[in-house]
Amino acid sequence: MPVMALGGGVFLAGTATALPVTGSVVEAAGIDSPLTFEADGTVFHGSLRTPDGATAGAALLLPGSGPTDRNGNQPGAASGTLTRTADVLAAHGITSYRFDKIGSGETGLGAYTLETVGEYGFTEQVDHAEAAARALADRTGIPTDEILVVGHSEGALTALALADRGIGNGFALLQPLPMRYLDLLTAQITAVADSGQLGADGDAVRAGLPRTVESLRTTGTVPADQHPLLAQLGLNPANAKFLAEADAFDPPVLAAQLATGTPVLLTCSDKDTNVSCAQVEPLRSALAHTDLQFEHFATANHGLEELGPLPPGPADLVALLPVSGEFVAAMDGWAAARGR
Whole-model pTM? 0.92
- Assess whether 141 and 204 both reside in one domain: no
133 DSSP assignment:
H
- Assess whether 173 and 208 both reside in one domain: no
324 DSSP assignment:
P
> How deeply is 219 buried, as exposed, middle or buried, from its count of CB atoms within 10 A (0-12, 13-18, 19+)?
exposed
Report if residue 21 sits inside a domain. no
Among 174, 191, 205, CA closest to 297: 174
Question: CA 338 to CA 308: how far, in whole Å?
Answer: 29
- Assess whether 83 and 162 both reside in one domain: yes
CB 236 within 8 A of CB 267: no
Low-confidence ranges of the chain (pLDDT < 70): 1-26
Q: Which distant-in-sequence residues (6+ apart) come within 8 Å of 324 by Cβ?
A: 24, 269, 297, 299, 300, 301, 304, 305, 306
CATH number at residue 85: 3.40.50.1820
Question: CA 234 to CA 325: how far, in whole Å?
Answer: 32
The angle formed by the CA atoms of residues 306, 307 and 311, to the nearest 5 degrees, is 160
246-290: pLDDT as tens digits: 999 999 999 999 999 999 999 999 999 999 999 999 999 999 999
3-13: pLDDT as tens digits: 444 433 333 33
- Assess whether 110 and 232 both reside in one domain: no
State residue 25's pLDDT score.
Answer: 58
- Assess whether 74 and 108 both reside in one domain: yes
- Assess whether 191 and 319 both reside in one domain: no
Report if residue 1 sits inside a domain. no
- Assess whether 188 and 175 both reside in one domain: no
Range of the domain at 189: 183-242
Share of the chain above pLDDT 70, in %: 92
- Assess whether 212 and 69 both reside in one domain: no
- Assess whether 207 and 332 both reside in one domain: no
